[in-house]
Amino acid sequence: MEGNNNFLENYKKKLDLKFEQKTDFVKPDNTDRDIITPKSPSNRRKIWISIVSGAVVLVAILIGLILFFNRGVEVIDLTGWIENDARLWANENGLKLQIEQEYNDDFDAGRIISQSVPKGTKVKKGEFIKVVVSLGHDLSVTLPLPDFMSMTREEIETWAEENYMARVRITAEYSDEVPVGRVIRFEINDETVIDEVNRNTPIYIVVSKGPEDESVLEVVVPNFKEMAIGESYIFANENGLVLQIEEEYDDFVPEGAIISQSIKAEEKVKKGTEITLVVSKGKMITVPDFAGYSKERATAVAGELGIPVTIKERYSTAPPNTFISQSIKAGTEYKKGDILELTYSIDNKIVLPSFVGQTRDAIELWAKELNDQGAGISIKVTNTKSNSPKGTILHQDKANTVIGIKDTIKVTVSQGKVVYVPDFVAPAGSGYDIAITRDKALAMCEELNIVPIFQEANKSGRLPGEIWHQSIEAGKEITEGSTIVLKYVPANVKVTVPNFVGMTKEEILKGKHNKNLDIRFVEGVEYVEGYEGKVYEQSLSANTKTAAGSIITLTIGPNQFIDEIEGIEDIENIEDIEETQKEEVSEEGKDVNQDSKK
């Protein structure tokens, strides 16, 4: 026990001991500024205070800027401004203008008369300012019609200016009776005016300039011989003279120059005096007789005389290049502007080619061209029927020879092949399987080489597109190329294509479908089960729209027996087929007997 107690006492003593342990840690020098000292709680508080202070300053700056930019706009006086200038000012300052217009005599049109916000007032940006813009003077305003005849020019001008009259026109003229500045007459081009006018009424006023100075009425006549015609007219117009021009030939005075004047130069005459000027036409030209000149010599002589000339050639009885005539008679006076036409002979003979095989039009055109040049060729035609195309020349009495310019040429011309007019008109009430439509008629005419002229005309009881009249009766003999008029019902009807599949030919005809369509039946080449003697295919789809009379092909299925016959080769008749079938049956019987014996 004693030992244990000692142990406990020693343990307690050990617990009460304080241990000190020395380390290698060296306290940092406070003078070392590069070493960061851990922040104490008081330092953090200072940082937060700085941040909050900065934010407050920033908000204050923003509020200041907002107040600065929205401090308002001071309105200026816009009175008298042009509307466009005022709009520019408003846009630059963030304001909007509300425009009203009214007539005003104090402000020109387009100028601002007044504004709703007085000068110096501050308004917020984006606000409206109402301004009144002038439309100018109200020309509909009426005024009493003044007594113009008692007014002077100055009084009229003052009245027009003060009342803003827009169409008052004042002119002046000389007068021996009305004093200077007084009204001679006036005119108002408005029948509705009685004793009032409006500002837009047209008024024309003539005032007096007083009597004209007598000295001004006299003109000193110039020497017109020294002036050109154009200058003479200008002088006469400017000085109130009247010129009369006469022309005559002169061998010495050039054409266009003045030979003489009726009043001598330097004399004084009153305005309105008539003066006659004689103008030279130059040397007179006498047209020579060109009968003895060749074409080349005639052209040279005419050129020397200043006569324009043209050479014309035509057939005649004279030899080639012989002079025939001249358009201006020899020995007569040549008038400026005329053209002299000299005619010479082409020849008195013509080479006639052969036109056999060509058309009648070819030889007639050839003859016309020659006759236009003075020939007198005539074509005598005999028509005959032949297999050659209509109008073809079959025979020519003379060809590839020289003939006279007045000869007659005899030709035989084909009338074309004879054909018989078909019957284009089917019995009334026929279906499209019998009726002749325009397309069918056209094909028939092409085959016969006749020319159809189709005319649309309605006819009751006839199908759309059906021919119901022909101008030449059926069976009549005509030649190829002849024309025939065919009248047909307008084909402007649409029909719905039925479904013919599964129907027989008899059922289709009994249903009178041929009244709507041109039905063509064909027999199929392949057997289709269930469609023996029935339509199994149609060229136009069922339930579609098509023109009445359209062609539709219906294919009818063959029966099985026929299909089998068509599949057998090298058999010429039914008897052979039946014999073959019997032999096959006999062979099959033998095979059966042999099998049974086995």
The pLDDT score that the predictor gives to residue 587 is 53
- Identify the DSSP state of 288: P
What are 595's two structure tokens? 């099998």
Ramachandran region of residue 570, left (φ > 0), alpha (ψ -120 to 50) or beta? left
Shared-domain flag, residues 449 and 386:
no
Write the burial class of residue 3 (CB in 10 Å: 0-12 exposed, 13-18 middle, 19+ buried): exposed
Report the distance separating Cα 168 and Cα 162, nearest Å: 12
Kindly write down the DSSP assignment for every residue of 49-113, as one continuous string.
HHHHHHHHHHHHHHHHHHHHHTS-EEPP--TT-BHHHHHHHHHHTT-EEEEEEE--SSS-TTBEE
Do 447 and 424 touch, CB atoms closer than 8 A? no
Q: What is the reported pTM?
A: 0.40
The pLDDT score that the predictor gives to residue 48 is 72
CATH classification of the domain holding 430: 3.30.10.20
Do 148 and 187 touch, CB atoms closer than 8 A? no
Report the distance separating Cα 490 and Cα 437, nearest Å: 10
Closest CA to 463 of 487, 488, 486: 488
Do the domain assignments include residue 359?
Answer: yes
- How far is residue 331 from each of residues 247, 250, 304, 334, measured CA to CA in Å? 21, 18, 16, 9
AA identity, residue 211:
P
Shared-domain flag, residues 201 and 236:
no
Q: Which residues contact 598 (CB under 8 A, 6 or more apart)?
A: none
Q: Which helix (H) or strand (E) holds 207?
A: strand 203-208
Write the burial class of residue 141 (CB in 10 Å: 0-12 exposed, 13-18 middle, 19+ buried): middle
User: How many Å separate Cα 142 from the centre of its chain?
Assistant: 50
Residue with tokens 């130059």: 282
Shared-domain flag, residues 372 and 431:
no
Shared-domain flag, residues 549 and 513:
yes
Do the domain assignments include residue 28?
Answer: no
Closest CA to 480 of 420, 523, 429, 533: 420
Report the distance separating Cα 95 and Cα 124, nearest Å: 8
Q: Which helix (H) or strand (E) holds 205?
A: strand 203-208
Do the domain assignments include residue 187?
Answer: yes
Report the distance separating Cα 340 and Cα 104, nearest Å: 76
Bridge pairing between strands 408-414 and 378-384: parallel
Report the distance separating Cα 194 and Cα 144, nearest Å: 10
Do the domain assignments include residue 272?
Answer: yes
Sign of the CA dihedral with 577 first, then 578, 581, and 583 last: negative
Report the distance separating Cα 445 and Cα 472, nearest Å: 13
The pLDDT score that the predictor gives to residue 38 is 47
Backbone angles phi, psi at 190, to 5 degrees: -155, 110
AA identity, residue 285:
I
Do 448 and 480 touch, CB atoms closer than 8 A? yes
Instruction: Give the tens place of pLDDT for each residue, 121-171.
Output: 999 988 999 999 999 999 889 999 999 999 999 999 999 999 999 889 999
Shared-domain flag, residues 466 and 436:
yes
Given 330, 345, 360, which residue is the final one in a domain? Answer: 345
AA identity, residue 385:
K
Helix, coil or strand: residue 497: coil
Do 259 and 283 touch, CB atoms closer than 8 A? no
Write the burial class of residue 451 (CB in 10 Å: 0-12 exposed, 13-18 middle, 19+ buried): exposed
Q: What is the dihedral of CA 126, 129, 134, 140, to 10 degrees?
A: 110
The pLDDT score that the predictor gives to residue 583 is 55
- Identify the DSSP state of 214: G
Shared-domain flag, residues 363 and 406:
yes
Instruction: Tell me the pLDDT of the chain (598 aa) as tens digits.
Output: 444 445 445 544 444 444 444 445 445 555 444 444 444 555 666 677 777 777 776 776 776 555 555 568 999 999 999 999 999 999 999 999 999 999 998 999 999 999 999 998 999 988 999 999 999 999 889 999 999 999 999 999 999 999 999 889 999 988 888 988 899 999 988 878 888 999 989 999 999 988 876 656 789 999 999 999 999 999 999 898 999 999 988 888 998 999 999 999 999 998 889 999 999 988 888 999 999 899 999 999 999 998 999 999 999 999 999 999 999 999 998 988 899 999 999 999 999 999 999 999 999 999 999 999 999 999 999 999 888 888 999 999 999 999 999 999 999 999 888 899 999 999 998 999 899 999 899 999 999 989 999 999 999 999 999 999 999 999 999 988 889 999 999 988 899 999 999 999 999 999 989 989 999 999 998 888 889 999 999 999 999 999 888 999 999 999 875 444 444 444 445 455 455 545 554 554 444 344 434 3
Q: Which helix (H) or strand (E) holds 521?
A: strand 518-523
Do the domain assignments include residue 596?
Answer: no
- Identify the DSSP state of 216: G
Backbone angles phi, psi at 363, to 5 degrees: -70, -35
Shared-domain flag, residues 252 and 276:
yes
What are 319's two structure tokens? 């030899």
Question: Residue 77 sits in which domain range?
Answer: 73-134
Do the domain assignments include residue 48?
Answer: no
Instruction: Give the tens place of pLDDT for each residue, 196-253.
Output: 999 989 999 999 988 876 656 789 999 999 999 999 999 999 898 999 999 988 888 9
Report the distance separating Cα 98 and Cα 109, nearest Å: 17
Do the domain assignments include residue 65?
Answer: no
User: How many Å separate Cα 215 from the centre of its chain?
Assistant: 65
| Spatial strand order in the sheet of 183-188 | 168-173, 203-208, 183-188
Do the domain assignments include residue 578?
Answer: no
Structural domain count, the chain: 7
Q: Which helix (H) or strand (E) holds 14?
A: helix 2-16
